[in-house]
Amino acid sequence: MEPLITNKIAVNKQTENSACIEQELKWFEEVLNTRLKTYFNHDCPYADIDEVPVPDAGRFSGDYSNFIRTHQLLPAERICLMVAFIPLLKPQLFDLFNITNANTGQRFTEFGCVRGLQHNGLIPTFETLLFILAGDNIPKRLDFMDYFSQNHFLFKNKKLNLNQHADSEPGHSALIIPSADLTESLLKNKQYVPEFSMKFPARKISTEQQWEELVLSDDVMAQINEIKAWVELGDRMLDEWNLRRKMKPGYRSLFYGPSGSGKTFTATLLGKYTGREVYCVDLSMVVSKYIGETEKNLSKIFEGAEHKNWILFFDEADALFGKRTNIKDSHDRYANQEVSYLLQRVENYPGLVVLSTNLKANIDEAFARRFQSVIHFPVPDTGQRERLWNNLFSEKTTLEKNTSIREIAEKYELTGGAIVNIVRYCSLMAMNRNNNIILHEDIINGIKKEFHKEGKTI
């Protein structure tokens, strides 16, 4: 599709999305005014908010209207969404709640809402939602309290979050905050990609390469295809064959083998060909010497990935998933608790978790026993190395006469990652000479560079 056409479609979609949101805002404003007028016994064309005509979201395209249609949202659920989004869309609407009760000299308690630290407007709480939906009607209030419990999909799936400041506070004082991914998708028509930071220490990884370029032995490929089948069919199998009560959801796999043997590449291809995003966890930012901090950092990752079907890839996982130590002091005890905590989170994650390590022996056996597969990525054999060499050199380059890729593959034992580095070096040298000829000498020099990294010599 031409870029101009694509941009025009995107603009039209955003225009439609904005029109839908504006319609919802006008309706919500009418609902809000109706609730306050009926609550204070002022003149109002409606006896209750249920009489306010609900607009037709189906006449628009865009993610907001699609969300309403897909989930068949009831008016109360659409009001709940609006309550969460008002501070982002039209914060002045909640100024209506900023009136003082003449009897107490304070804002009306039943309105809920709190003032933000930097946000000048009011931030809604669950109490705010209950007031808008039920006013002072106790039976209705109890019904909505039950309906919008933690089991409601908006809260259960973390589309909306209830942020409680203190455990001692009433549950209804929790702030209603829309998740970042819901905000991006519904308000901006964009896919949410969390920013790599201390708050979320994982990077999204991907590849432009194809499944056919994955060079592994038949045995290893069979195991990788098993994982691929689980990602594509696992949930369907558990649901259609009534196995969910007998088996835990999700799949856990350990990839082990030398650096450059294709572990990360395989994980990215699994994501690409199953339509899943792959996030590589930066363990250097996760593991902390401070007691309890590692668990907090891990929680950020698993909570961020919850309900999104992401593939979580832990590279050099022995830094965190290593063998548990004998208890000598409190730090050893907490280190073992971290491993146990991580084991629990990995087992409860409903998606695919891949742990990668150079040495299988470094991984705690308690983890290994819980993996659905443990896959060895060895150094490729001669035939695999020849395929890698031939796949990696550009079709726009030519080899120097009398250069035999077969002989190079037979003579030098290299991983796929090392061959990638050598091909990059040779291609750069050729371009630097203003030609496209790959010299045998450059290949050998590149091999020497890779061997030097490992303390080897030719």
213 and 172 within one domain: no
416 and 292 within one domain: no
Query: 21 lies in a domain?
Result: yes
pLDDT per residue, tens digit, the chain (458 aa), is 455 444 444 557 788 999 999 999 999 999 999 999 999 999 999 999 999 999 999 898 889 999 999 999 999 999 999 999 999 999 999 999 988 888 888 888 999 998 888 888 899 999 999 999 999 999 999 999 999 987 899 998 889 999 887 777 777 889 999 988 899 989 987 777 888 887 788 899 999 999 999 999 999 999 999 999 999 999 999 999 999 989 888 999 999 999 999 999 999 999 999 999 999 988 777 776 665 677 777 888 888 887 788 999 998 887 666 655 554 544 445 556 666 777 788 888 999 999 998 877 777 676 777 889 999 999 999 999 999 999 999 999 999 999 999 999 999 999 999 999 999 999 999 999 999 999 999 999 999 999 998 887 77
What pLDDT score was predicted for residue 290? Answer: 62
* Domain boundaries, position 317: 202-376
Which domain CATH number covers 280?
3.40.50.300
Six-digit token string for 343:
């084991």
Helix (H, G, I), strand (E, B) or coil at 277: coil
208 and 328 within one domain: yes
Residue linked to tokens 């050998």 = 444
- Of 360, 376, 392, which marks where a domain is finished? 376
235 and 184 within one domain: no
Split into its structural domains, the chain has a count of: 3
What pLDDT score was predicted for residue 23? Answer: 96
Q: Closest by alpha carbon to 155, among 127, 175, 128? A: 175
pTM over 0.85: no
Query: 317 lies in a domain?
Result: yes
250 and 303 within one domain: yes
211 and 122 within one domain: no
Q: What is the DSSP letter of 354?
A: E
Long-range contacts (CB closer than 8 Å, 24 or more residues apart) made by 290-295: 291/330, 291/331, 291/334, 292/334, 294/320, 294/338, 295/337, 295/338, 295/341
What pLDDT score was predicted for residue 329? Answer: 46
Query: 156 lies in a domain?
Result: yes
Q: From CA 149, how far away is CA 165, in angstroms rounded?
A: 18
62: left (phi over 0), alpha (psi -120 to 50) or beta: left
What pLDDT score was predicted for residue 11? Answer: 54
Q: From CA 280, how far away is CA 102, in angstroms rounded?
A: 56
- Of 154, 188, 222, which marks where a domain is finished? 188
H or E, element range at 429:
helix 416-432
329 and 222 within one domain: yes
Q: Do 97 and 111 meet the contact criterion of CB atoms below 8 Å apart? A: yes
71 and 14 within one domain: yes
Which domain CATH number covers 415?
1.10.8.60
- Of 376, 396, 424, which marks where a domain is finished? 376
What pLDDT score was predicted for residue 194? Answer: 83
Q: From CA 66, how far away is CA 59, in angstroms rounded?
A: 10
Terminal CA-CA length for the chain: 51
Query: 365 lies in a domain?
Result: yes
What pLDDT score was predicted for residue 4? Answer: 43
Query: 207 lies in a domain?
Result: yes
Residues of 345-370 as b/e, b for ≥16 C-beta within 10 angstroms? bbeebbbbbbbbbbeeeebbeebbee
Query: 196 lies in a domain?
Result: no
245 and 367 within one domain: yes
What pLDDT score was predicted for residue 6? Answer: 47
365 and 328 within one domain: yes
303 and 240 within one domain: yes
Query: 305 lies in a domain?
Result: yes
160 and 14 within one domain: yes
Q: Do 209 and 388 meet the contact criterion of CB atoms below 8 Å apart? A: no
Q: Do 87 and 124 meet the contact criterion of CB atoms below 8 Å apart? A: yes
Query: 323 lies in a domain?
Result: yes
Torsion sign across C-alpha atoms 39, 45, 47, 50: negative
Q: Do 389 and 419 meet the contact criterion of CB atoms below 8 Å apart? A: yes
